[in-house]
Every structure is written in structure tokens, then in C-alpha cells.
Structure 1
Amino acid sequence: MSAATLELGAPLDNTMGSMLLGVIVSAVLYGISLLQCLFYFTRYDHDPLYLKTLVAVTVVLDSLHLAFVIHTVYHYLISNYYEHGVLQVMVWSVALEAVPTGVTGALVQTFYAYRVWRMSHHNVFLTGIILILILANSASGTAWVVLALEAGTYEKLLHISSLTISINALSTGVDVIIATTLCFTLHKTRPASLETETMVNRLILFTINTGLLTSLCAFASLISLIVSPKTLIYASFYFCIGRLYSNSLLASLNARGVIRGQINDIDTNFHTKSIHPRSPIPREVFARPDGSVNEMTVHIDRETEFYADEGYTKHRRPLSDNINPSTVLADAES
């Protein structure tokens, strides 16, 4: 797909080098998604089954995609180091890696479409446009995989570059519509718990939870395809799109408690109170973010058990705050 794969002795910086950088960044994002997945299953274990299944499927697809791109880079840069004939031929994994990326993107975008439907008060027209674009993108991606496997070489793959651009354009369009809609809706209906947050924290929450990062990455991949169609610079961005989709989904699910103001711990408040060990615990420690207080009552049941030496007879007597020692001794002797 580039001069480096078609001309002997050309540098590999803008082709296999771009692939390698994309794999490295993708692996870092994969580690972040695993950490977020662990946090999700330990914090939100009461979520409905369909959400847990969605998270599990996206993580499995991430793992499959990372395996494909690692195989691709290892095939070109290690197993067949700078062999001109091999650089011209597309390895099977470089075509199949688009499958898990496309499925992950479709699943996450559909999830966000459902969120748009709910937050827009069941706007059928807007949600329908998003779903139509998602289906068109999925169909184009499936056609691209089939044609890429049939092409066999990067030179022949240039003949379907228009389809490649269309896929990235559709993905970018869906992400922009979703991100814009959710940002606008969240800005209008942002919870009161975020009023005390800094502007930076608000921007981070809005950016991650609306998938704006995926929009920027898809747009960068689209620009790379248009400006430099005979290189693999776009692969540096395309390899990361799937990871950004899964991270966006997980960040959106994990941030629900923070956004709603229902989690009152070090993760959300970022401060603690120091309390003297012998001093009573103030009521403010148990305060919720909205200022209300959880009342906590501790009831202790105390009782003593006496065992006589002869016959191992067991006597039980509840203890009160005022205990008569003579009574206790009499019971023990009997």
C-alpha cells in the first residue's frame, strides 16, 4: 500500500514503522481497558446481564485484535525481516484485524445510540439516523475484509481505497453525532454533584464518557488516508480505535457513581479527615455528597458462658451494664 512495500530499498518508517507505533499504543490502551474491566466487575457486580456481557465481549474482541496486529508486525519485521517479496503481500492477520475493530465499534456505538434515545426523550429520528449509519459502516467493513482477502497484495488494495475512506468517514460521522448529542444533553442536565468539580474534571468526564476521543482518532485516520493514501500512517490511528471504543464504554460505565454523586470515597472526594483514635467520630464523616447524613446504630449483644469443672455443665447468662459479682459467682459455683 505504499512505496516501502513496492520499491526495493525504501525506508519502512511510514509503513511498518507506523504499524509498530500503532501496536505499541494499542497495547497500552489494552492494559488500561483491562484495569477498567477489573474495576467494573468489582464495583458494579449488580449490573444487568446484558451490560456485563457487553463488557466481556468487548474485552475479548480487544484481545483478539491485539493478537492479530502483533502477528502482523512480527510477520513483517521479525520472521521476514526486510524481504522485498514478503512486504508486497498482505498477511491474513492485517485484513482480519478489521473484524474485531468493526464489531467493537458497532457494539459500542449501538450502546451510545440507545443512550441518545433515552437522553433525547425517545427521539426516533435522531436515533434512527445513527443506527442507519452504524449498519452502513458495518456493511462496508464486511465488504472491505472480503475484498482485502481477495486482493492479496498492497498494490491491489489501493483499488479499494475509496471504500476504506468511506468506512472511516462513516465511523467519524457516527462518533461526531453521538459525541455532540451527548455533550449537549449532559451540559443541559449535568448533575448537581459536578458543580463543585473543577472545569478540567468536567471536560475529562464529558470527553471520555461521550466517546470524543474515538471521534478524534477516527478523524485522524481519515485525514491520513486522504493526505497520504500510499502509506500506512493511518494504521497508527486505526489500530487504536477499537481500544478507544472499549475504554470509552468502560469509562462511561465506571463513572456512573461519580456523575450521580452516589459514591463518597477517596475516588470521588480526593480528601480525608484525620480523626484522633480516642475522639468520637463526627457526623460529617458519614455525610453523603448532597449533605445528608447516614445514621448508623451499633447494637451489641453480650453474654457470658460458664463451664463447671465437673460434668462440663454449661451456663449462659446475659450481661447487663450493672452486674452483681456475687450473683455471677453463685451461678458459677452451682
Structure 2
Amino acid sequence: MASQDLIPRPHFKLVSTFGVLFIGVILAAILFGVTNVQAFIYFQTHSGTGIKFHKLVVICLWMLDALHLVLIVHCIYFYLVINYANTSALTEIVWSAKLQSVVTVVSIFVAHILYVHRIWTVSKGRSKLLPITMGIFVLLTLGPTIVVIWFVYQRVHTTADLVNIKYALYIYLGPVTFVDILIALSLCYLLATSRTGFLKTDLFISKLMIYIINTGCLTSMCSIVIIITWAVMPRNFISEAVEFTMLKLYVNSFIALMNVGYSAQPNADTMHSSEYHVRHDVYHPRSRTGASRDEEMQASQKSMFNHPDDEVLHITQPVQAVMVTCHSGRSR
């Protein structure tokens, strides 16, 4: 009898359940490798800036991403290795499966807060209505986040109970997807209204806008796929496998946004990140008027995307500042 209990029963469809989870873990591990590359690039290009706010942010995001990977690996190891051929264990919800869901929703909320901080930084010198509005929308998602955490720990004890949290998942992913779209549109609006007429600067802004739209669509599409798969196929674990990669996409998107200022620079391979700083106390006027204006404008915008905790020129004012200093240099 004991040996017969270890034989997998036919009604357990392992391919569409735990087999799909295994594939999700592999994809999540690949994306974690991309996170390592993004973090390495960021610290390499900002190695001479000391310990700054965004360096701590990158470290915290990396640690959350690593913790999430450890939890989902333990989850799969528990089902497929520790309880190999033990069908009774397949109906249980292991503690790491619950905790990884909590880490995911909390990390996404933190990522949204960081994006709001980015919007606040880019909107320097302008009305603060847009970042404040976005901050309110992000704070409103805290309610669904708490609801999901409560349902996971109070209503989910077996795999059959996952169907009971379907509507809680809808309530959470709907606002999250909406906020992702709003964040992408807000950043694109701020960048689009910052065009100066200089070719290189406008090209840089266009690259940033394309990147923001792509990453915003990527995270939003991930949430939509989870909703659709959960609604159409609630008896398998395809939606959970997609959820394994969701946090990785958010972390990669945010760190890559801080790196995009360097990678979009035409001479990024020969310039050090310290050249991107444009501070009021170290700015020196130059006699060149054409290329200098464009370079200074690019530097001021990159500093806003890479070093928001430094004192930088407002994104709507650097061209005028350069023109004034150039005229004063000529008059001398």
C-alpha cells in the first residue's frame, strides 16, 4: 500500500501545473541574470560617485529580486525533489510559495514609488500636479496589495483554494496595470515637452520615450496575460508561472531606465559618468555655441535620470542658462 501511494495518479496533469512552474523558474533565473548585468553596468558607470540614494535603491531591488528567486526555487524543489512522486504533497501550498507572492506585490509597490520619485525629479521647475497625482494613484494600489496578502495567508491552504482568490487577483492586477500605463504616459509627456530643437538632444529624448513605452507595455502585458490565463485556465499554473517573471521585469525596467542615459550617449564608451554632472557650483561657460549647448543639454538631462539627488539644472532651463553665459563670455 505504501508503494502504491507513491505512484502518481492520472488526474494530476503535471505538464500544465508543476511542469509549467518549472519553466517559469527557468525564465525567472534568466531574467535575474539580466538584472545582474544591469546592476553591474550601473555600478561600473557610477563607480566614482560614492554612496548615493539610487545606488542603495539598486542594491535593495537586487536583494528583493534575489530573495524572490530563492523562494521560487525552493518552491519547485519542495514539490519536484523533496516530495517526488508524493501526490499528497502536491495539493499543499508550501510557505515559500506564499512568501514569494508577498515579495512580488511589495516589490512592485516599491517600484511604483520609485517611478513616482523619477517623475518628480524630471518635473523639476514645473508644476508638481502630475507627480502628486501619480503618487496618489500609486498609494491607492496599497489597498489591493494588502487585500492580496491577506487572502494568500488566510484563504489559501491547498492548491484548490487558489480559485478562491481569483477576484482578489483581478482587483490587484487591474489597478497595477492602470498605474503602469499612467507612469509610462507621464514620463513620455514630460520628455516630449522638454524638446529643445537640438538634433542630438531631441534624438536622446526620443530614445528615452521609446524605451519607456516599451517597458511600460511589457509590464502591463505581463499583468494582462496573468489575468487572461487565470480567467481562462484557472485549473493549471500558467498564470503563476508568468507571475514568477513579473517582478524580474519591474526590477530590470527600473535599473535599465537609470542606465539608459549612459547607453544612449553617442560616446558612452569613452566618457565617464562623472562627466554627466551639471552642478551650479562647477559650471564654467564655454565659447562654443553650437555643440556646447547640445552637449550641456544632454548632460543635464542624463543627470536627471542618473543622479536625481544631485543639484542639477532644471530640464526646461539649461538652454537659456547656456545662452546667457555664452553672451556674457563674449561681452568680456
TM-score by length of 2: 0.70
1:23 aligns with 2:25: yes
For the 8 Å contact 1:137–1:171, the answer to whether it is kept is: no
Pair 134,117 (structure 1): closer, same or farther in 2 beyond 3 Å:
farther
Q: 1:196 to 1:87 in 2, by over 3 A?
A: same
Are the equivalent residues in 2 in contact too, given 1:144–1:164 (CA < 8 A)?
A: no
Structure 2 alignment gaps of length 5 or more: 1-7, 272-290, 297-332
Structure-2 separation of matches of 1:40 and 1:21 = 29
Relative to structure 1, is the Cα distance of residues 71 and 256 closer, same or farther in structure 2, using a 3 angstrom cutoff? same
Is the Cα–Cα contact under 8 Å of residues 165 and 222 in structure 1 kept in the other structure?
yes
Which protein is richer in helix relative to its size? Answer: 2
Given that residues 23 and 69 in structure 1 are in contact (C-alpha distance below 8 angstroms), is that contact kept between their aligned partners in structure 2?
A: yes
Q: 1:267 to 1:99 in 2, by over 3 A?
A: farther
1:327 alignment partner in structure 2: none
Whether the 8 Å contact between 2:195 and 2:205 is mirrored in structure 1 is no
Shift of 1:229: 1.9
Q: Is the 8 A contact 2:229 2:238 kept in 1?
A: yes
Match for residue 205 of structure 1 among 211, 222, 233: 211
Q: Match of 1:33?
A: 35
Mapped contact 2:191–2:209 kept (Cα < 8 A): no
Give the match for residue 295 of structure 1. Answer: none
Q: CA contact under 8 A between 1:18 and 1:232: conserved in structure 2? A: yes
**Identity among equivalent pairs (%):** 29
The equivalent position to 2:248 in structure 1, one of 243, 247, 253, is 243
- Tell whether the 8 Å contact from 1:110 to 1:134 is kept in structure 2 after alignment: no
Report if the CA contact (8 A) 1:19-1:235 is conserved.
Answer: yes
1: CA distance, partners of 2:195 / 2:218: 20
1:219 deviates by: 1.5
Over the aligned positions, Cα root-mean-square deviation in angstroms equals 3.0
Asked whether the 8 Å contact 2:208–2:260 carries over to 1, the reply is no
Residue of structure 2 in register with 1:255 after alignment:
260
CA apart distance, 1:16: 1.0
Aligned amino acid, residue 9 of structure 1: H
Match for 1:14 among 12, 16, 26? 16
Partners of 1:78 and 1:90 in 2: CA distance:
15
d(CA) in 2 for partners of 1:113, 1:202: 17
The residue aligned with 1:142 is 149
For residue 184 of structure 2, the aligned residue among 176, 179, 196 is: 179
Q: Distance in 2 between matches of 1:156 and 1:196?
A: 51
For 2:35 and 2:293, the matched residues in 1 are separated by: 28
Equivalent residue number for residue 224 of structure 2: 219
Amino acid of the structure 1 residue aligned with 2:229:
S
Q: Report the equivalent of 1:98.
A: 101
Residue pairs, 1:63-212, within 5 angstroms:
63-119=66-122, 121-123=127-129, 126-147=133-154, 151-189=156-194, 192-193=199-200, 195=202, 205-207=211-213, 211-212=216-217
CA deviation after TM superposition for structure 1 residue 198, in Å: 12
Which AA in structure 2 matches 1:27? Answer: A
Q: Deviations over 1:100-149 (max 9, x none)?
A: 2122211111011223344453115522432233322432233233225x
Counterpart of 2:268, as a letter, is D
1:252 is displaced (CA, Å) by: 0.7
Deviations 1:184-218 (A, max 9, x none): 3333435742655798x66752345x533211111
CA shift, 1:180, in A, is 2.4
Q: Is the 8 A contact 1:113 1:130 kept in 2?
A: no
Aligned with 2:267 (options 252, 264, 267): 264
Shift in CA distance, 190/69, structure 1 to aligned 2, threshold 3 Å: farther
Output the amino acid matched with 1:56. I
After superposition, the C-alpha distances for 1:171-194 in whole angstroms (9 at most, x for unaligned) are 212212212222333334357426
Aligned residues: 263
The two structures have a TM-score, normalised by structure 1, of 0.69
